[in-house]
Amino acid sequence: MITIDLLCARFAALAPEDVRRWVADGLIRPEQGEIFAEIDVERVRLILDLRDTLDVNEEALPVVMGLLDQIYALRRQLRELGRPQGE
């Protein structure tokens, strides 16, 4: 678990306002209050890459993240379908 202050300290390009906006937009979901799990840290890393490296604007981030979430969910479903019965 990591606090918002430690999260912002980990990424130089990250401001607390960014994190709070992304929480409000549903892009990251803290465990409680402003305490984040490792999955959220990785989502922040991805969002920063999209925003800063690939120049995805803030308005498009929810759409892009939603599509990525759908892709990952479909991959999980395909893996489950490919498993032999009884496992």
Full-model pTM: 0.85
Domain annotation for the chain: domains and CATH numbers = 2-82 (1.10.1660.10)
Average pLDDT (20-41) is: 93
Q: How far apart are the first and last CA of the chain?
A: 32
Q: Does residue 86 have a pLDDT over 70? A: no
Q: Does residue 17 have a pLDDT over 80? A: yes
**How many whole angstroms from its chain centre is CA 44?**
5
Backbone φ/ψ region at 26: left (φ over 0), alpha (ψ -120 to 50), beta: left
pLDDT digits (tens, 9 = 90+) for 48-68: 999 999 999 999 999 999 999
Average pLDDT (3-22) is: 95
